[in-house]
Structures are given as structure tokens and as C-alpha cells.
Amino acid sequence: MRPPAPPEDLDLLHAALLRAGESVPALRAALAAHAPDALLLIALLRARCPCDCWRCSPARRGRRTRALLAGVVLNPRATVPLSLRLLPSLFWRDLAAAALAPQVAGPDARARRGAAARAAPDLRLGERVALAKIATAPVLALLLADEDTLVAEACLINPRLREEDLATALRSDSASRALIEAAGASTRWSANYAVRLALVLQPRTPLALALGQLSALVPRDLRRVAEAPIAQLLCVAAQRLLDQMAASTEPET
């Protein structure tokens, strides 16, 4: 392996690229003088170097080409047309990073999130699990429907998962058994009221799990449960709780 360049050489190359600006001849001269490898060029691209430096380097023709393209997309100087053109060539992990870039907004942000979402269904299990932990809302919406328990559990620990998104996924007619059971067992979400209500009203929730949520519901929602098209035993249990609450509030004679 090639040893890493000394910090002073990196600083010199960084300074040379900044001086070159968008001048292709100047960029080629700076790169020829310092001969950075692909990994170094990727690091420099993420440090606000001119985007065109990747075009002028022989490293772009190597096996790290797609990683270089990700460096361009993640470059703070990257234009929207350039980012949109390169997105289809990125790996899923780089797509996820691109979607999270803080400097991105508007149509570029929507395109990045859409590209990551389109890539999700074709990933292997380990990749889906890794993506579920860091994905943004549009990608999470797809991964919450995944049938694998590991993916569901990974979604539930994603700090970007919002209560309304999880509740919506649990209310869906196609809610997976994996998500239902993972939500019921989650230390983060099992005590959330909206999640508890969604679990009770979801016909696919195992009866024991649904019954365990009833005592946390307020009378208004217990009435919804008692009239919902779900397991009869659950409706009866909700009505019984309502009757007990009513009896406990009646004045003694």
C-alpha cells in the first residue's frame, strides 16, 4: 500500500488546488506536481476543493471511480446539474450520505433522497440494515415495510424516525409482522402513545401484544377500539375497560 502523504504535502496540494480555482490547465499542473491517489483526492474534494479537479486526475480511471464521484457530489461547491448527473452512479452508502448533506436543499435534496429510495429495494440484507440506521424519511418509509426483523429493528433506532411516520407505517394495511413486533418490543417506541394506539387498531397485531396496550389508552380511544373491525376479544376487552372506568367514576349512593 502507498503510505499516506505527509500533512505538509496535503496542505501544499490543497493550497495549490484552491489557487488553481476552475482553471483546468492550472488544476492539471497542480495534480501532476503532487500526484495524489484516489483516496487523497476524495478527501480533498470534501474540503471545498474545485469540483473539476477530479476530471483532471488519472485517479478517476481506477477502481475507486464511483467513490470519486461521491466526493464530487458531496463537495460543497458542486452545482445542482452536476450532482443530478452523477447521482445514478453512486453506491447506496454514498447516496445516503449525499441525502444527508447539510448544504443541500430544494430539487437537489429531493433528487438525492429519491435516488437513495430507489436503490433500497435492491440491496442485500446487511446493506438494508445499515441503511435503515441512517436513512432519511423517504427512504425510511420504504424500509419500514421490509419483511425482515433486522431491518425493522434498525429502522426503530434511527434518530430520524418520527412518531407520525412510524404510526402511519403501523396503520398501513400492508404493515409487516416484523415491524409490528419490533415496535412492541422497542425500548424507544413501546411506551409511545400513538404507537400503542396504532398497534391496537392494526388487525395484524398479535392478540397478546394488542391486549397489553389497552390499559394505556384513554376512554375516547378505547371507544374507537371497541367499535373497530378487529379481533372480537379485543373489542370486548376495550368495552370492559370502559365499563370499569365508568363504574369507578359513578357517585356512591
CB–CB of 143/169 below 8 Å? no
127 part of a folded domain: no
83 part of a folded domain: yes
Digit-coded pLDDT (tens) for 220-251 = 999 999 999 999 999 999 999 999 998 887 66
pLDDT at 63: 47
Percent of the chain with pLDDT over 90: 40
In the listed set 41, 73, 90, which residue is the last one of a domain according to the structure? 90
196 part of a folded domain: yes
228 part of a folded domain: yes
Q: For residues 85 and 250, what is the distance between their CA atoms, to the nearest angstrom?
A: 69
In the listed set 73, 90, 107, which residue is the last one of a domain according to the structure? 90
pLDDT at 108: 55
Digit-coded pLDDT (tens) for 118-174 = 666 667 888 889 888 988 887 888 899 999 999 999 999 999 999 999 999 999 999
Q: Which domain holds residue 40?
A: 24-90
pLDDT at 252: 55
189 part of a folded domain: yes
60 part of a folded domain: yes
CB–CB of 49/15 below 8 Å? no
pLDDT at 223: 96
Digit-coded pLDDT (tens) for 171-212 = 999 999 999 999 999 999 999 999 999 999 999 999 999 999
Beta-strand ranges (E) seen in 44-111 are none
Model confidence, pTM: 0.64
In the listed set 48, 68, 90, which residue is the last one of a domain according to the structure? 90
Digit-coded pLDDT (tens) for 32-72 = 777 676 667 777 776 666 666 655 555 555 445 677 777 77
Nearest to 228 by CA among 201, 191, 253: 201
Q: What is the mean pLDDT of residues 81-110?
A: 64
155 part of a folded domain: no
147 part of a folded domain: no
Total domains present in the chain? 2
Mean pLDDT over each residue of the chain, to the nearest integer: 79
pLDDT at 244: 93
pLDDT at 24: 75
Q: For residues 178 and 240, what is the distance between their CA atoms, to the nearest angstrom?
A: 30
